[in-house]
Amino acid sequence: MDFFACTLAAVHLVGQRMQWSRDVRGALLLLVPLGNTSYLGYPMTQAFYGAQGMPYAIVFDQIGNFLLLAMLVPFVQARFGGQPTQASW
């Protein structure tokens, strides 16, 4: 959880300093700390721990990362999302 808090703080501070728009900061607040852990995490777990490590990786990915993502997205959307705009196409 410390890594998560540090990345949130870093993205927020860098975004303010670089004067990124609210939309960009909101997107990065979701993308940077919450990566696709199953994309690299499952093969690495398989390589390091074998088949007996896979259930732990799946539980962490599904419960830990997904739960955090499901709780964070509505907050970030409400805080950093802009007004709906008309589609130009």
Domain boundaries, the chain: 1-33, 36-77
pTM: 0.64
**Quick one: what percent of the chain has pLDDT higher than 90?**
21
Cα within 13 Å of Cα(21), Cβ side:
5
Contact 74, 67 (CB under 8 A): no
Higher-pLDDT residue of 75 and 3 is 75
Quick one: angle between helices 66-80 and 22-31, nearest 10? 170
Higher-pLDDT residue of 16 and 31 is 16
What six digits make up the tokens of 33? Answer: 């700390």
Confidence of residue 85 (pLDDT cuts 50, 70, 90): low
The Cα–Cα gap between 55 and 20 comes to 40
The Cα–Cα gap between 57 and 68 comes to 16
